[in-house]
């Protein structure tokens, strides 16, 4: 086991009010998992990623993780720096760590090959499509060789064909790098397509409603979307989501 989230609760406190975002959330992530988290808007998905990344502390509970645990974070918006070209965006985390330029560029070039943007290393973000920018953000998240890649709705802003293409690419990258991925999405079909486990959260305060194993071969392709097995899994998750239930 790589990571255990144990009975996590988070209450945000501001001047006017308290918001209980998460309540008693527990799950385990094994090394090499593609672990997706789905749930209604505002149920605490981003909060879970922030706690795992160490960006915020939980109010209750604990996270068990290796001592020198490092994560790569891909945000919903790509967050690329407009004044830096592709390769200089990718090396940014290494630059912050003080790694020598030559070594950084060598690593970045390998990653640009992996995400199929080798020809674009000198291009600036404004001249890239939305999907390309997200690929650059993925390369930037991978450059420190993190144990875990945290992805928060990385393809949410993309059109459907681009999203499907990037889903297939992400599946290839996951198989090739054997990275552990924790992936947040609104899109149930996307979660099933990419994952070997899907955690379903309840409405806020988020609790784990169910964790489903996705028993499909590791290599996923677009034909899968039409298969009966795939559609059944999507329906099973939809039934467990409380999108339309009133309190």
Cβ contacts of 54 within 8 Å, gap of 6 or more: 71
Given ligand ATP, Mg ion, none, residue 125, with its beta carbon under 5 to 8 Å by kind, binds: none
Q: What character string, x for contact with ligand ATP (CB under 6 A) and - otherwise, covers 79-108?
A: ------------------------------
Buried b / exposed e over 87-100, threshold 16 CB at 10 Å, is: bbbbbbbbeeeeee
Which of 29, 33, 46, 148 binds Mg ion (CB under 5 A)? It is 46
Write phi, then psi, for 41 (nearest 5 degrees). -60, 135
For ligand ATP, the closer of residues 44 and 93 by Cβ is 44
Given Mg ion, ligand ATP, none, residue 61, with its beta carbon under 5 to 8 Å by kind, binds: none
- Any contact of residue 185 with ligand ATP (CB under 6 A)? no
Cα separation, 219 vs 27, whole angstroms? 25
Given ligand ATP, Mg ion, none, residue 19, with its beta carbon under 5 to 8 Å by kind, binds: ligand ATP
The residue to which tokens 């499509």 are assigned: 129
For ligand ATP, the closer of residues 32 and 42 by Cβ is 42
> Residue 168 burial by CB count (10 A; 0-12/13-18/19+): exposed, middle or buried?
middle
Q: What character string, x for contact with ligand ATP (CB under 6 A) and - otherwise, covers 20-49?
A: -x-----------------x-xxxxxxx--
Touching ligand ATP, residues 192-231 (CB under 6 A): 204
Cα separation, 157 vs 164, whole angstroms? 12
Write phi, then psi, for 198 (nearest 5 degrees). -130, 125
Ramachandran class of 59: left when φ > 0, alpha when ψ lies in -120 to 50, beta otherwise: alpha
Q: Do you know the residue count of the chain?
A: 247
The residue of the chain with the least Cβ separation from Mg ion equals: 46
Cα separation, 88 vs 160, whole angstroms? 29
For ligand ATP, the closer of residues 71 and 173 by Cβ is 71
For ligand ATP, the closer of residues 59 and 177 by Cβ is 59
Whether the CB-CB separation of 82 and 89 falls below 8 Å is answered with no
Q: Which helix (H) or strand (E) holds 133?
A: helix 130-142
- Any contact of residue 52 with ligand ATP (CB under 6 A)? no
Given ligand ATP, Mg ion, none, residue 42, with its beta carbon under 5 to 8 Å by kind, binds: ligand ATP
- Any contact of residue 180 with Mg ion (CB under 5 A)? no
Touching ligand ATP, residues 3-22 (CB under 6 A): 12, 14, 19, 21
Residues that bind Mg ion (CB under 5 A): 46
């Amino acid at each position: 086991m790589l990571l255990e989230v144990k009975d996590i609760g988070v209450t945000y406190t501001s001047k006017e009010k308290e918001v209980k975002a998460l309540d008693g959330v527990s799950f385990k992530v094994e090394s090499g998992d593609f672990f997706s988290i789905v749930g209604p808007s505002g149920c605490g998905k981003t909060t879970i990623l922030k706690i795992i990344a160490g960006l915020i502390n939980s109010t209750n509970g604990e996270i068990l993780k290796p001592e020198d645990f490092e994560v790569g974070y891909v945000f919903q918006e790509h967050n690329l720096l407009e004044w830096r070209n592709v390769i200089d965006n990718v090396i940014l985390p290494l630059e912050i760590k003080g790694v020598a330029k030559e070594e950084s560029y060598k690593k970045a070039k390998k990653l640009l090959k992996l995400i199929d943007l080798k020809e674009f290393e000198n291009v600036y973000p404004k001249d890239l499509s939305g999907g390309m920018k997200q690929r650059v953000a993925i390369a930037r998240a991978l450059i420190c060789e993190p144990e875990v890649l945290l992805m928060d709705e990385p393809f949410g802003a993309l059109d459907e064909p681009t999203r499907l293409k990037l889903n297939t690419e992400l599946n290839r990258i996951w198989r090739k790098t054997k990275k552990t991925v924790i992936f947040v999405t609104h899109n149930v079909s996307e979660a099933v397509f990419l994952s070997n486990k899907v955690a379903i959260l309840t409405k806020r305060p988020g609790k784990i409603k169910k964790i489903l194993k996705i028993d499909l071969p590791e290599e996923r392709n677009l034909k899968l979307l039409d298969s009966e097995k795939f559609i059944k899994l999507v329906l099973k998750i939809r039934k467990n989501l409380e999108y339309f239930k009133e309190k």
